[in-house]
Amino acid sequence: QTVYILNGPNLNLLGTREPEIYGRETLADIEARCRTLCEGHGFELLFLQSNHEGQLVDWIQEARTSACGIIINPAAYTHTSVAIRDALSACEMPIFEVHLSNVHAREAFRHHSYVSAIATGVIAGFGSFGYVAALEKLAQDVGA
């Protein structure tokens, strides 16, 4: 079974980007943790990051026909992208939305997510542990 973990714009800068908000871990650190977990569950993992909305839409469409679940941190596109929401809506599988920071405790423009209403579950403010929690829940949901 294949899991897509998708990361949106600027998450390639994790580790040095506003560390007081996003922590000191890099995206590679988070990927390594996810890989270990996926091996334990027998999941094939595609862990991807893009700064481009259309690229994320392409990957979601790919996942639609090949994955058992999607974990996505859409980053800033959370608050702007109807295209990413529509692509996710076309996927009949568990979808977990993850944010490192507690978006609800931040600026008002981060309080609305286009994705949350169509997500299976949402995690915010758990730091990188949010990815771990989402993966464990996905494993439970798909029986891996």
Q: Which residues are catalytic?
A: 22, 99
- Taking the complex as a whole, the smallest distance from the CB of residue 46 to ligand DQA amounts, in Å, to 19
Closest CA to 21 of 107, 89, 122, 86: 107
Is 99 a binding residue for ligand DQA by CB under 6 A? The answer is yes
Task: Report if residue 73 touches ligand DQA, rule: CB under 6 A.
Answer: yes
Residue 55 sits at φ, ψ, to 5 deg, of: -65, -40
- Whichever of 43 and 77 has its CB closer to ligand DQA, that residue is 77
Measured CA distances, 102 to 3, 21, 35, 107, 142 (Å): 24, 9, 24, 10, 27
Task: By CB under 6 A, tell whether 60 contacts ligand DQA.
Answer: no
| Binding of ligand DQA by 63 (CB under 6 A) | no
Indicate which single residue of 71, 103, 132, 135 sits in contact with ligand DQA (rule: CB under 6 A).
103
* β pairing state of 95-99 and 2-7: unpaired
Beta bridge partners of 144: none
- Round to whole Å and give the CA distance between 48 and 27: 10
At residue 89's C-alpha, the angle toward residues 84 and 90, to 5°, is 105
Under the criterion CB under 6 A, does residue 101 sit at the interface with ligand DQA? yes
Quick one: which segment of 32-40, 56-64, 97-105, 134-142 binds ligand DQA (CB under 6 A)?
97-105
Asked if 34 interacts with ligand DQA (CB under 6 A), we say no
Q: How big is the site for ligand DQA, counted in residues (CB under 6 A)?
A: 10
Nearer to ligand DQA, 1 or 125 (CB): 125
